[in-house]
Amino acid sequence: MTDMPGIEKFYGAAILLLRWWVCGWSREELAAASGVSASSIYNYEKGKHVPGPERRKRIAEALGVSLAELDGLAAAVRRRLLGLADRGFAVKERLAAEVAADLAADFHRAALPLVERLVAAQAPPPAVPEEEVRALAPVLRRLGARGAIRDLLDKLPSFWSWAFVKLAGEESARVASVDAGRALELASLALRVAERVQGVEGWVSRVFAWAFLANARRVASDLKGAEEASACSACLQADPPEGRPELPEPWRLLDLEASLRITQRQLPEALHLLDRAAELAPRTGPIRARILCIRSNALERMDNPEGSIAALREALAQIGQEAEPDLLCMVQFNLMDSLCTVGQTAEAAEMLPALRRLQAQLGDGLNQIRLRWLEGKIDAGLGRLDRAIEALSWVRAAFARDDLRYDEAQAGMDLALLYLTKGRTAEVKRLVFQMAPVFKSKGVHAEAQKALALFRRAVEMETATPELAGRVAGYLRRAQHDPELRFETAA
């Protein structure tokens, strides 16, 4: 065994032991503490890449050890592996206890918690039944992924399961359109638990947890982070455990990735992914409806409103009126909003009572603000401009109060269009003054700020027109999750 490589090949194992067994961190948490991307940490731990000296130093400091101690741990892992191999042991099966014993001499106090956790891992407690895990859904919906929930789960290995990862991930996806911050917390919680799940179930959990985290980052407009998380999920899918087990619900991974590609304006690729998802998904029901909703979004971005509306109509037919309120509400809302955009406001108005009843089941919150926004659009489309102005004024103020600056910008431009249509230029100037925080907000990306600044200058010079307000409003709608989309100044 003299041809074994040096310790550089064992840095990944050393980082993994410190990150997981000693610190109890996810890769995401180590990435945040060290400034090294989670995808890079993944590649180091899998032995695909070797971290350079500067990155080793940053990772070591984040984990609370010196660079020399990290080198010592890598050397200890290498020495124990050599010893096991020389004695003919099956390294993967016997590695944990042997490495722990070696570290007791080589790594001081870090060895004790490591040994305790490794011994505990030999006989994990029985997993909580899936139906009991699902019973936690109301708790997650009420409390989200606050620190107390994270700390509690850290002490409850019985919940370290694919069932919980799926629950937290799906809850993250459910709230993403109305609360990006909570979606990110829940997806991070899913990944935190996934990192603790063992065996094939652990591989499945991590594949999906990274995909859910990519989706949460996408809605939070962190496209670089979303792509990194998506790449981690893809790397795991490409490197399955022995026996190449199949992933459950593969269509879910495809529709999550398609949503990211839509945001990145990779629309043909998104449609291709959705075609694959449709082939694998059930032919009818809510899953099919969700895929159709995402297809509708892609078609809308491709300036195909008719195709988008047709996809939403089919989605509504797939789920019927007995579906989960969240999904049914989303489909109805998107369809009515799209109908307003293409001028078919009367049909949207006919659907409004049913949507109001459905929203009443879901309670107050951001969905109620968006419903009021839709009511304002319907009033505007039916020529009830004063009622529309009243509704949109309330909506803009509500978004401002909740510090939802991009939504405030969109509602504000809808309102400005109505003011200009009625010739109320003084109100437009006052509106622009009230929206001053929007022009400086980090929640509004640079290209959108340029479009808003152009409109503000036109208002100040008294050259703003309904046509300009309409173009800026349309741009903001298309560019919400696409910070690279440019606003064309020419009509």
* 3-class secondary structure, 371: helix
For 364-491, give the CATH class: mainly alpha
Average confidence (pLDDT) over 347-365:
86
pLDDT digits (tens, 9 = 90+) for 5-40: 467 777 887 888 778 766 778 888 899 999 999 889
Residues 104/111, Cβ–Cβ less than 8 Å = yes
Q: Per-residue pLDDT for 411 more than 80?
A: yes
| 364-491 matches 130-248 in CATH topology | yes
Sorted by where each begins, the domain ranges of the chain are 7-122, 130-248, 364-491
Residues 73/34, Cβ–Cβ less than 8 Å = no
Structure confidence at residue 483 (pLDDT): 75
- Distance (Å, rounded) from C-alpha 463 to C-alpha 446? 23
Tokens of 386: 């004063």
- Distance (Å, rounded) from C-alpha 117 to C-alpha 101? 13
Tokens of 184: 């990110």
130-248: CATH topology: 1.25.40
* 3-class secondary structure, 222: coil
Q: Per-residue pLDDT for 458 more than 90?
A: yes
High-pLDDT (> 90) share of the chain, %: 45
More confident residue, 211 or 94: 211
Structure confidence at residue 82 (pLDDT): 60
Residues 17/73, Cβ–Cβ less than 8 Å = yes
**DSSP character for 22?**
I
Confidence class of residue 2 from pLDDT cuts 50, 70 and 90?
very low
- Distance (Å, rounded) from C-alpha 406 to C-alpha 222? 15
Q: Per-residue pLDDT for 313 more than 80?
A: yes
Q: Per-residue pLDDT for 116 more than 50?
A: no
- Distance (Å, rounded) from C-alpha 232 to C-alpha 238? 10
From first CA to last CA, the distance across the chain in angstroms is 72
Q: Per-residue pLDDT for 119 more than 50?
A: no
pLDDT digits (tens, 9 = 90+) for 159-188: 788 988 999 999 999 888 778 888 998 999
**DSSP character for 101?**
H
| In the block, residue with structure tokens 């489909």 | 331
